[in-house]
Amino acid sequence: MEFLTQIINGLSTGGMYALVAIGYTMVYGIAKMINFAHGEIIMVGAYLAYVMTSIVKVPIIVSVLVAIAGCALLGVVTEKVAYKPLRNSGSLAVLITAIGVSYLLQNLFLILFGSAARTFPQFMPSGTVSLFGAHITYVALLSLVLTFICTGLLLLFINKTKLGKAMRAVSEDRGAAELMGINVNTTISLTFAIGSGLGAIAGIIYGMSYSLINPYLGAMLGIKAFIAAVLGGIGSIQGAMVGGLIIGVAEAFTISYISSAFSDAVVFGILIFILLVKPAGLFGQNMREKV
Amino acid sequence: MSLLKAEGLGIQFGGLKAVDEFNFEMNQNQLYGLIGPNGAGKTTVFNLLTGVYKPTSGQIIFNGKSLLKMTPTQITQLGIARTFQNIRLFKKMSVIDNVKVGLHHSQNYSLLSSILHLPSYFKGEEAMHEMAMSLLRVFDLEKYADVKAGNLPYGKQRKLEIARALATSPKLLLLDEPAAGMNPIETEELMETIKIVREKFSIAILLIEHDMKLVMGICEKIAVLNFGTVLAFGTPDEIKNNPDVIAAYLGNEE
């Protein structure tokens, strides 16, 4: 049952990628920018949970909530301080700023915690369950379940609530939304808060799955999740989810059937392939340039 | 007190004075038209009134408040709504959701209650749905409620844009070429709709239009804009017979 085990392992890593990819895709949909600091937000989420549990020693549920709230706040503050002043300048300026924010956060955590990896506290008992003969760790199962729950709730929020409608309106036509009385700044802040909060959950899942965290963890995770978002079609939440799961499974298969050394190559190969064959991504729509 | 008053309003883009010394006044429940040749600055005036552009000179007073320092969102919430020359509906959203976006700031239920799905959320959501449906009924669009806005026929998209603007409960409605691209029958229908809207919602309407039959047919007074300034202002009959207007706008042969 090696095959099934690999699929489920892949899906659970993919779930983590999906949670991060949703952050990229939501921010792109509303603010029309790639937030390259998003990976670092996930790193901050993992560290917040680590600090709260291992140093401050509060109950697990409290540290999870602190991590989510802290990341949401960090996302909102980053947008207000770094991106909002550049909203009307070129996309290159915002992109470079985002890379700057990413290095700022990474180095800040290097100063605070050093480059040595820290042991992430045990949030749930280690162990496996057997499903159709495949052995799955509790963490993997949790990661998969959380991904589906979060994506489901998010889609419900976007499609059924007033604020969700405001978000869709802003993403389609910011100017027209403003003239319908929608506060665009609040809507953009909300988007960053939700995306970063989901990032915190991904950071905690990362800590639980790999049990070691270091200030660089967001870099590779962020890039892979970004590829997942592009694969799914950037701007589409369902796409980010499917893209994340595909990347996770592809990675798991490469590691177990070819070599772990090739896993990154395969992931980046997927990016090149999708950009050549279907640049808009699986769920993306081809946008015509306005003339 | 007048509802809307623009005094010496002007905006300059580089060296070009797109609108210059624009003076205009409107009262509640009046229906005025704004006409002028292409490039006269009509849409620019709308953009100034709604805060999309910031004027380089002059003053706008709406309902006793100056609009100069306000964002488009705040101006909409004060009671100015508009439609666009090139339809700007949220095309990927359903017809009813478009109207609900317009209702956005009129409903007061907090973020928390909507996330937690508290009873007040359901009440608010239900009331919102009812309001949106009744607005759609005014425009005969209720049977399209769940259709994607982008899939509506052109004339109906124009109507939906008016419905969406009305959802923001405006005191003044700005219509930017509502009849553009419509066939004569649709234009006829639109004239009726505008009349109904004005009676039913008792609001002031200012419209930009090139279709002279429509403008002359329904507007009480008309302002003619040429090179960014008001060339003439008066009743349709006065405008029709004004030699300046004829020269600048209608051409000499008429």
Domains of chain A listed by start with CATH number: 2-277 (1.10.3470)
B91 contacts A180? CB cut-off 8 A: no
Partners of residue B111 in chain A, C-beta under 8 Å: 163
Handedness of CA A43, A48, A51, A57 (dihedral sign): negative
Closest approach of B77 to chain A, Cα-based (Å)? 6
Note the pLDDT of residue A290.
46
Select from B72, B88, B90 the Cβ nearest to the Cβ of A168. B90
Closest approach of A41 to chain B, Cα-based (Å)? 23
Select from A161, A169, A184 the Cβ nearest to the Cβ of B90. A169
Closest approach of B238 to chain A, Cα-based (Å)? 34
How far from B67 is each of B2, B71, B105, B128, CA to CA, in Å? Answer: 14, 8, 19, 28
Note the pLDDT of residue B251.
63
Note the pLDDT of residue B109.
45
Q: Complex ipTM, two decimals?
A: 0.80
Where is average pLDDT lowest: A82-96, A190-204, B124-138? B124-138
Per the CB < 8 A criterion, the answer to whether A253 and A270 are in contact is no
pTM (two decimals): 0.86
Given a cut of 50, whether residue A210 has pLDDT beyond it is yes
B156 touches chain A (CB under 8 A): no
| Residue B196: alpha-carbon gap to chain centroid | 15
Amino acid at B23: N
> Buried b vs exposed e over B10-48: b needs ≥16 C-beta within 10 Å?
bbeeeeebbbbebebebeeebbbbbbbbeebbbbbbbbb
Partners of residue A168 in chain B, C-beta under 8 Å: 90, 92-93, 97
- d(Cα A156, Cα A164) in Å, to the nearest integer? 9
SS (H, E, C) chain B: CCCEEEEEEEEEECCEEEEEEEEEEECCCCEEEEECCCCCCHHHHHHHHCCCCCCCEEEEEECCEECCCCCHHHHHHHCEEECCCCCCCCCCCEHHHHHHHHHHHHCCCCHHHHHCCCHHHHHHHHHHHHHHHHHHHHCCCHHHCCCEHHHCCHHHHHHHHHHHHHCCCCCEEEEECCCCCCCHHHHHHHHHHHHHHHHHHCCEEEEECCCHHHHHHHCCEEEEEECCEEEEEECHHHHHHCHHHHHHHHCCCC
How far from B120 is each of A163, A165, A183, A257, B105, CA to CA, in Å? Answer: 15, 18, 22, 54, 16
CA neighbours within 13 Å on the CB side: how many for A168?
25
Amino acid at A100: G
- d(Cα A212, Cα A206) in Å, to the nearest integer? 9
Per the CB < 8 A criterion, the answer to whether B54 and B71 are in contact is no
Closest approach of A49 to chain B, Cα-based (Å)? 24
B164 touches chain A (CB under 8 A): yes
Q: Which long-range contacts (CB under 8 A, 24 or more apart) does B114-123 make?
A: B114/A161, B114/A162, B114/A163, B115/A157, B115/A161, B121/A161
Partners of residue A184 in chain B, C-beta under 8 Å: 73
How far from A158 is each of A166, A259, B2, B214, B250, CA to CA, in Å? Answer: 9, 40, 41, 40, 50
Select from A161, A179, A182 the Cβ nearest to the Cβ of B82. A179
Note the pLDDT of residue A286.
61
Given a cut of 70, whether residue A253 has pLDDT beyond it is yes
> Buried b vs exposed e over A173-196: b needs ≥16 C-beta within 10 Å?
bbebbbbbbbbbeebbbbbbbbbb
- d(Cα B249, Cα B233) in Å, to the nearest integer? 14
Closest alpha carbon to A282 in A241, A249, A250, A254 = A241
Partners of residue A178 in chain B, C-beta under 8 Å: 71-73, 76
Given a cut of 50, whether residue A165 has pLDDT beyond it is yes
Note the pLDDT of residue B120.
65
Select from B72, B100, B115 the Cβ nearest to the Cβ of A178. B72
- d(Cα B120, Cα B107) in Å, to the nearest integer? 11
* Residue with more model confidence, A146 or B249: A146
Note the pLDDT of residue A99.
95
User: Rounded to 5 degrees, what angle do the CA atoms A30, A36, A41 make?
Assistant: 90
pLDDT, mean of residues A270-282: 91
Q: Provide the token pair at A134.
A: 């495949």
Amino acid at A37: A
Note the pLDDT of residue A208.
93
A73 touches chain B (CB under 8 A): no
Note the pLDDT of residue B89.
94
Please report where in the chains the tokens 């036509």 appear, as a residue. Answer: A173
Residues (pLDDT < 50) of chain B are: 108-112, 254
B93 contacts A168? CB cut-off 8 A: yes
Q: Share the mean pLDDT of chain A.
A: 91
**Given pLDDT bands bounded at 50, 70 and 90, which one contains residue A126?**
confident
List all residues of chain B from 168 to 227 with a beta carbon under 8 Å from chain A.
168
Given a cut of 50, whether residue A57 has pLDDT beyond it is yes
Select from A162, A168, A180 the Cβ nearest to the Cβ of B168. A180
pLDDT, mean of residues A251-270: 92
Partners of residue B97 in chain A, C-beta under 8 Å: 165, 168
B105 contacts A181? CB cut-off 8 A: yes
Domains of chain B listed by start with CATH number: 4-250 (3.40.50.300)
Per the CB < 8 A criterion, the answer to whether B198 and B115 are in contact is no
Q: Provide the token pair at A190.
A: 């909300």
Which residue of chain B comes nearest to A168, CA vs CA? B93
Which residue of chain B comes nearest to A178, CA vs CA? B73
Q: Provide the token pair at A16.
A: 């983590």
Note the pLDDT of residue B59.
93
B105 touches chain A (CB under 8 A): yes
Closest approach of A182 to chain B, Cα-based (Å)? 6
Which residue of chain A comes nearest to B128, CA vs CA? A162
Q: What DSSP letter does each residue of chain A carry, written as one string?
A: -HHHHHHHHHHHHHHHHHHHHHHHHHHHHHH-S--TTHHHHHHHHHHHHHIIIIIS---HHHHHHHHHHHHHHHHHHHIIIIIGGGTTS-HHHHHHHHHHHHHHHHHHHHHHH-SS-EEPP--S---EEEETTEEEEHHHHHHHHHHHHHHHHHHHHHHHSHHHHHHHHHHH-HHHHHTTT--HHHHHHHHHHHHHHHHHHHHHHHHHHHSEE-TTHHHHHHHHHHHHHHHH-TT-HHHHHHHHHHHHHHHHHIIIII-GGGHHHHHHHHHHHHHHH-TT-SS--PPPPP-
